Structure 1
Amino acid sequence: MKVLLTFGTRPEAIKMAPVIRELIRRKINFKVCVTAQHREMLDQVLDFFSIQPDFDLNLMVPDQNLNSLSAQIFKEFAPVLNMEKPDLVIVQGDTTTAFCVAMAAFNAGVKVAHIEAGLRTYNLTSPYPEEGNRQLLSRIANFHFAPTAHAQQNLLKEGVTKEDVYVTGNTSIDALEYAKSILKSGYRNSEINDLEKRVDPGLNLILVTAHRRENFQHGLLELCKSLNYLGNRKDVQILFPVHPNPKVQKIIFENIDSRANIVLLKPLNFPALMWLMEKSKFIISDSGGVQEEAPSFNKIVIVTREVTERIEGLEKGFSILVGTSASRIIEESEQILNGSIPDPSGPNPYGGGNAAARITDVLLRSFQKV
C-alpha cells in the first residue's frame, strides 16, 4: 500500500498528524504533500509534530479567492499524483484543499480516503464553503471515516454504502491527547511563557476565537460588542488570538474597546492554544475544532454560529449555540460566570484518542484483501 496524505491548513495538519505518526509506527509506505493554503499557521503545526513534507506546493498568496486557489491546487497537485502514483490519497475535513485534492485523485483513478466524513448542516451557506466541499467529497470518496455515529447516519441517509463507512472517532482528540501529555511532562515554548505572564489567575479567563467567512462583517461586529461588554466586568479577562485573515483583523482591531480587559494576540501554536484552553473558564468560538477539543478539558463552548454540524457537543452540554447576536453571547456568558450553568463533565463525545489506529487498521485490512 502506497499512501499520499495531502493537506493545506492548520486544522487539517493537526488532525492528520496522528495518522502520520501511526503510519510511521506501522512502517507503512507514505508521503506527505502540503498545499500551504495557510502558510505560517500550517508551519507551526508541522514543527510541533515534526512533520517534514515531501512536497510543498506553497500556494498561499494574499487575498486569494477560492476559484484561483482551486485552480492552483488542481494544476500543482496533478504532477505529484503522476510522479508518485499512490494507491490511496488521504484527505481530511472540508477545506478547498481537501475537495480539490480528492477530485484530482478521482480524475486520476486513485482511491480516496476521507477523514472526518459525514459532518453536515445541510445549509450550503453555513459553513461556507465547507459544507459544499464535504458534501461533494462524499460523492467520490472510497473510504469514509466518520468521527461519530451521527456523522455515519448522515452518510447512510445520503446513500453511501454501509460497508464503506467506519466510525473511528475524530483524530483531533488523538492530537489533543498527545499535546496534553507533552504539556504535562513540562513542555514549554515562548508563546506559553508569554501567556503565563499575561494570564491573571485571579480572574475568569474567557478564550475567544473567530474565523468563519459567514461571520465576516455583522457577526464579527456583534462579537466585538459582546466582548467589550464582558471585558468591562471586574471579574473577567478575555484572551483573543486574532486570525491572520486581513478581513478579520480589520474588524477586530477597529472595534475592540482598548479600555476593556481584552488581550488581542497573534495566532497561537497548537500547544499554546491547548494550554490556554485548559486555563479558561469557558470559550467563545465559531471553530469546529474548538468544539471537538473543549470537552477533553470539561469546558463549555459558546458557539457563535447559526448552525453547527457538531451536535454531539450540544447534546452533552459542552456547547451552546447562540448565533451572532451580542445579547445572546452576553446572556449565556453571564449565566456561566454566575454559576447558573455548571461545568460539563463526562467523556469527550468526539473520540477517545484512538482514531488514527482505527483508520490505519481499516486501510491495512482493505488493501490486504486486494
Structure 2
Amino acid sequence: MKFKVAVVTGSRADYGLLKPLIQTLKQDADFETMLIVTGMHLSEKFGSTFKEIENDGLEITNLIDMAINQDSPHEIISSMGQGLSKFGYAFKRLKPDLIIVLGDRFELLSIVSAAVMSRIPIAHIHGGEATEGLIDDAIRHAVTKMSSLHFPVTDLYKNRIIQMGEQPNRVFNVGAPVLDTLDSIKLLSKKELINSLNLKNSDLIFSVTYHPITLEKGKSALEFSEVLKVLDVYPTATILFSQPNADMEGREIEKLIIEYISKNKERCQLKSSLGQLRYLSLLKHADLVIGNSSSGLLEAPHFKTPTINIGDRQKGRLAPKSVIHCQGKYEELLSSIKTGLSPAFLNTLIDMDNPYGDGTSAVQTVKIIKSKLRSGNLLRKPFYEVKRS
C-alpha cells in the first residue's frame, strides 16, 4: 500500500527548499506524492510563481487561492480564514496520510489547523529556530506543537523542539534541504547571469532582499531608508532588489525600492521572482548579499558570499562566519559593507564550513517518514518532560 503524502508550498522561498524533498518522494514507489500550491505562488503581484513549479515538470495536485494581495493585519487575517476553509475541503477530498510543511509563514496556521482538525499528522521542516524580531517566531512554535514529526536543520534547533515537549524519537536533525539543491544544480556562469539579467555593469554586484519587521510597526521603512542611503556610496554597483514578501508593511518597502530605482535606472532592478536557478546563481556571483532574508544565512554561505544581515529579523538563527550582523543605522551599515568587501575578510572565508548539513537532507527525511508511517499512529504524542539537573 502506498502512503499518500501532501507537500504544501506557499512561496518561491519555501518551494526552493522543498524541491529536493518533493523530487525524492516522487521517485519512491512507496509514496503517492501530492503537491498543494497556495499563498504568494498564486498572486500575480508576487510573480505567479506556481508557473515555475510547472516549468520544473512537477504536477500540481491542488491550487488553493488564499487571496494574498494586501499586507494589512485585517487582509492577512481574512486570507488565513479563507485558507482554513479551503484546506479543510481539500484534505477531506485528498485524504493524505501525512502533510509536509516548511517554515513559519502565516498561511501555515491555516494549513496545520485544518490538518489537525482533519486528524492528519503533520511533518514540519525548519522548526526550532528563533527569529526574535518577527511574528513568525510565534507561528513557527505553534506549528511545532501541532506537528507529529520534526525535521530541524541543526542540533541547536533539535534541542529547542525537545524543550517544547516533543518526543526525542520524533525529532531529527537532517540538515537544511536547500543544500541538496546547491550540491546538485548546475548554476549559471557569471557571464550567463549578466546576460540573463541584462546587467550593464558587473564589476560590483549587490543582492538586496529586505522584508518587514513584523513586531515593530513603522521600523521597517526607517531602517530600509538607511540602507538605501548607504547604497548611494557605491554609485557604480549593480543592485538587484528582491520583492518584499506579503507581510505587514511589505508594500511600504516596495514603494521605497521603486522610488530608488526611478533615480538609479541604469544600475538597479526589482524582481518579483528570479526563479531558483538565477537566484542561486546571483548569490554565488554577487559581491555582497544585503538585507534580512534567511537566504543570507542559509544559501549565501555555501558560496562563501559575504552577507550583511540587518537588524533583528534573523536574530536567534545560527549564522556562519560569512555573516556580518549590524543594525539599520547608516554608519554601522557602511562599516559592515566595507568589511564585507575587504580582502582580509574574504580570506577568512576560504576554508569555511557550512553548519547546516551535508546535502543529504531529502534522502534522510523520506527514509524517516516511511519508517514512522509504517510504525503506527502518529497523532498520539505524549508530552516529553525534559529532566532538570
TM-score range, shorter chain: 0.7 to 0.9
1:95 is matched with 105
Report what 2:26 is aligned to. 24
Matched residue SS, 1:324: coil
The Cα shift of 1:256 comes to 5.9
Which one of 329, 335, 338 corresponds to residue 331 of structure 1? Answer: 335
In 1, are the aligned partners of 2:213 and 2:220 still within 8 Å (CA)? no
Pick closer, same or farther for the CA change 1:177–1:62 going to 2, 3 Å: same
Counterpart-to-counterpart distance in 2, 1:31 and 1:255: 42
Is residue 238 of structure 1 aligned with residue 248 of structure 2?
A: no
CA contact (8 A) 2:290 2:309 kept: yes
Q: Report the Cα offset of residue 362 of structure 1.
A: 0.3
Partner residue of 1:319 out of 311, 323, 326: 323
Residue 132, structure 1, aligned to residue 138, structure 2: yes
What corresponds to 1:270 in structure 2? Answer: 276
**2:297 corresponds to:** 291
Kindly indicate whether residue 239 of structure 2 is the aligned counterpart of residue 250 of structure 1: no
User: Residues 296 and 47 (structure 1 numbering): CA distance in 2 closer, same or farther, change over 3 Å?
Assistant: farther
2:383 maps to: none
CA RMSD of aligned residues (A): 2.6
- Counterpart in the other structure of 1:226: 227
Identity %: 21
**Correspondence 1:63-142 to 2 at 5 A:** 63=70, 65-121=75-131, 123=132, 126-128=133-135, 130-142=136-148
What is the distance in 2 between the residues matched to 1:5 and 1:38?
14
Residue 49 of structure 2 is matched in structure 1 by 42
Paired residues of 1:174 and 1:354 also in contact (CA < 8 A): yes
Is the 8 Å Cα contact of residues 243 and 249 (structure 1) preserved in structure 2? yes
Tell me what 2:386 maps to: none
Partners of 1:358 and 1:140 lie apart in 2 by 22
Corresponding position of 1:206:
206
Task: Supply the AA of the counterpart residue of 2:23.
Answer: R
Residue identity in the other structure for 1:266 = K
What displacement does 1:84 show? 1.6
- Please tell me whether the aligned partners of residues 187 and 281 of structure 2 are also in contact (alpha carbons under 8 angstroms): no
* Alignment size in residue pairs: 358
CA deviations 1:246-302 (Å, max 9, x no partner) are: 332212223568259741222222211112111111210211133200111101111
Distance 1:330 1:3, change over 3 A: same
Distance 1:233 1:74, change over 3 A: closer
Is the Cα contact below 8 Å between 2:130 and 2:137 reproduced in 1? yes
Q: In the TM superposition, what is the alpha-carbon distance from 1:218 to its structure 2 partner?
A: 3.6
* Mean CA deviation greater in 91-100 or 206-215: 206-215
Q: Which has the higher helix share?
A: 1
Tell whether 2:55 aligns with 1:51.
no
Q: CA deviation at 1:368?
A: 2.4
Q: 1:166 aligns to what SS in structure 2?
A: coil
Q: Which amino acid aligns with 1:322?
A: C
Cα distance change, pair 135–75 in 1 and its aligned pair in 2 (3 A): same
Note the alpha carbon deviations across 1:44-98, whole angstroms, 9 max, x for none: 5414532221110122343152211110111101111111211111111111222
Shift of 1:199: 5.1
Provide TM-score, normalisation by structure 1.
Answer: 0.87
Note closer, same or farther for the CA distance 1:220–1:13 as it changes in structure 2 (3 Å cut): same
Structure 2 letter corresponding to 1:24? K
For 1:317 and 1:261, locate their aligned partners in 2 and report how far apart those are by CA, in whole Å: 33
Q: 1:347 aligns with which of 342, 350, 353?
A: 353
Kept in 2: contact 1:231–1:262 (CA 8 A): no
Report if the CA contact (8 A) 2:213-2:313 is conserved.
Answer: no
Contact map agreement 1:78 1:104 (CA 8 A) in 2: yes
Q: Would the aligned equivalents of 1:4 and 1:86 in 2 still touch at CA under 8 Å? A: yes
Aligned residues of 2:87 and 2:110 also touching (Cα < 8 A): no
Helix, strand or coil at the partner of 2:241: strand
Tell me which amino acid in the other structure corresponds to 2:242.
P
Letter in 1 for 2:102: Q
Judging changes above 3 Å, is the alpha-carbon distance between structure 1 residues 134 and 242 closer, same or farther for their aligned structure 2 residues?
closer
Report the Cα distance in structure 2 between the residues aligned to 1:210 and 1:295, rounded to whole angstroms.
Answer: 18
Which residue type is aligned with residue 220 of structure 2?
G
AA paired with 2:105?
Answer: T
In structure 1, distance between residues paired with 2:201 and 2:9: 37
Structure 2 contact 297–323 (Cα < 8 Å) conserved = yes
How many Å apart are 1:105 and its aligned residue? 0.8
